Amino acid sequence: MWRDPGTPTDSFYEVRSECTDVPKTKFKIKAGKTLSVRKWQAAFTPEGQLDIGRTLSRIHRGGIHPSIRGEVWEFLLGCYDSKSTFEEREQIRQRRRAQYAVLKEECRHIFPLVGSGRFITAPVITEDGDPIKDPIVLLEANPDNGQASVPQENGTSFSSVMVKEVDKKIIQWKLTLHQIGLDVVRTDRTLVFYEKQQNLSKLWDILAVYAWFDTDVGYCQGMSDLCSPMIILLEDESDAFWCFERLMRRMRGNFRCTERSVGVETQLNNLASITQVIDPKLHQHLETLGGGDYLFAFRMLMVLFRREFSFGDSLYLWEMMWALEYDPDLFSLYEDPDAVEGSKGKAKSSRQCGKYERENMRSGAKNDDAPLPISVFLVASVLKDRSSKLLTEARGLDDVVKILNDITGNLDAKKACTGAMKLHKKYLKKAKKT
């Protein structure tokens, strides 16, 4: 029987010709499996309500066609309620775009390079609030002539903001701007998309505005990797911002740091507990090597496997994870926490939930304050797959890192998700017994 081999998606995320060592995508668009434009449009009622159950199972089977990825992600991440109409979504969209414009204008007023199409990679302020008159900054602010006299940006000259700052919130924000710039020029630099200065600037603007919007977290390394796909998939900058903001609501715990701990430590501890239950021998071995804190898995959890997969495959992995974890309460929770409070105890249709979410509901794990994200089980399944190699070849933490680094470009996103689901089921059973 002839089988459709599918179409690879590399053509949608073009890689620069000189980048020859980039992992090739394994994800293929398959007729009848991948969520196509036609199937997506057919999933809506005439008023615009989405049959989310059928959509989730199709995404889990074969991912999303790249041409509609952005708009499907907005539903998966809870930007829109699947029960909303076309008209209701348009109103929400316009309201959010106006809100983003206000936020961006606040930032531009404090630092006129925001929204100018340019960005900085050198510090502009000390921790005491004193301006740093760095020639690199002046050149980046005015690349055309390289002179110290900088033009006015919408009526505010860049030089006029180079004064001592006393507001702690502003100091904190300005301290992150050059770090965002340094990360922006390193993010997905193999893609043709980022050869355009305007796309780099858009990524810098969104991250700068987010750091101002969410002062608890601000900006941390790794956030540019999570934000980059949003601006590639969603043309409108404000839509990309809110999609990223929804993703950060899931992930921000990882980035929240205190003087004593890094946010992702909770997930690393969860990973240790899971491995101890699933593969006690491996856990013991890692502890003996001094890796009981599981810090070697830090990157996988922080940026959701962006480094271990090709660009196209990491997007495929993300959407499968979100489809599996999908909870119809997401939108209400984000828009109106009181609405969810009021709906507690009311049964929701399991058909509208992702497969992983249904498993949590069945086992009662959902009654915990925060059920474990599927990403932790994904890392656990990667460790389980490499268990024999780690047990026989790892004589120190360097070996553990080397063995795990060898998975780059060799992982299959679909298999990884299937493995995570199996482990999750096994863990819930064993955890119940203990």
pLDDT tens for each residue of 229-285: 999 999 999 999 999 999 999 888 888 766 565 678 889 999 999 999 999 999 999
pLDDT value at position 266? Answer: 86
- Give CA–CA dist 341/2, Å, rounded: 52
Rounded average pLDDT over 96-106: 98
Q: What is the DSSP string of 376-407?
A: HHHHHHHHHHTHHHHHHH-SSHHHHHHHHHTT
Q: What is the DSSP string of 166-209?
A: --HHHHHHHHHHHHHHHHHTTTTTTBGGGGSHHHHHHHHHHHHH
The more confident residue out of 2 and 25 is: 25
- Give CA–CA dist 308/408, Å, rounded: 4
Rounded average pLDDT over 53-58: 92
Alpha-carbon torsion 312, 318, 322, 325, what sign?
positive
Is-above-0.85 flag for pTM? yes
Instruction: Give residue 344's pLDDT band: very low, low, confident or very high (50, 70, 90).
Output: very low
CB of 117 closer than 8 Å to CB of 201: yes
Q: Is the pLDDT of residue 52 over 70?
A: yes
pLDDT value at position 149? Answer: 37
Q: Is the pLDDT of residue 204 over 90?
A: yes
Maximum alpha-carbon separation in the chain: 73
The more confident residue out of 375 and 19 is: 375
DSSP 14: P
Q: Which residues contact 375 (CB under 8 A, 6 or more apart)?
A: 267, 300, 301, 304, 305, 321
pLDDT value at position 428? Answer: 86
Percentage of residues in the chain with pLDDT exceeding 90?
59
Alpha-carbon torsion 190, 196, 197, 203, what sign?
negative
Q: Indicate the range of 75-84, 135-144, 420-429 predicted with least confidence.
A: 135-144
pLDDT value at position 4? Answer: 47
pLDDT tens for each residue of 106-153: 999 999 999 999 999 999 999 999 998 877 777 777 776 443 334 444
- Give CA–CA dist 114/110, Å, rounded: 9
Amino acid at 428: L
pLDDT value at position 222? Answer: 92
Find the radius of gyration of the CA atoms of the chain.
Answer: 23
Tokens encoding 188: 């997905």
- Give CA–CA dist 272/370, Å, rounded: 17
Cα-based distances in Å from 12 to 172, 192, 232: 38, 10, 10
The chain-wide mean pLDDT, for the chain, equals: 86
Cα-based distances in Å from 380 to 143, 164, 275: 48, 49, 6
pLDDT value at position 348? Answer: 66
What 3-state class would DSSP assign to 85?
A: coil
The more confident residue out of 266 and 316 is: 316
Rounded average pLDDT over 381-400: 92
The more confident residue out of 105 and 339 is: 105
The more confident residue out of 313 and 5 is: 313
The shares of helix, strand and coil residues in the chain, as percent rounded to the nearest 5, are 60, 5, 35
pLDDT value at position 342? Answer: 44
The more confident residue out of 162 and 117 is: 117
pLDDT value at position 343? Answer: 44
Q: Indicate the range of 208-217, 255-264, 310-319 predicted with least confidence.
A: 255-264
Q: Which residues contact 152 (CB under 8 A, 6 or more apart)?
A: 112
Question: Domains in the chain and their CATH numbers?
Answer: 87-251 (1.10.8.270), 265-433 (1.10.472.80)
Q: Is the pLDDT of residue 84 over 50?
A: yes
Q: Is the pLDDT of residue 334 over 80?
A: no
Instruction: Give residue 156's pLDDT band: very low, low, confident or very high (50, 70, 90).
Output: low
Q: Which residues contact 421 (CB under 8 A, 6 or more apart)?
A: 324, 355, 356, 359, 374, 377
What 3-state class would DSSP assign to 334?
A: helix
Helix pair 413-433, 355-363: axis angle to 10 deg: 0
DSSP 111: S
Rounded average pLDDT over 341-368: 70
Rounded average pLDDT over 212-219: 93
Rounded average pLDDT over 38-52: 96
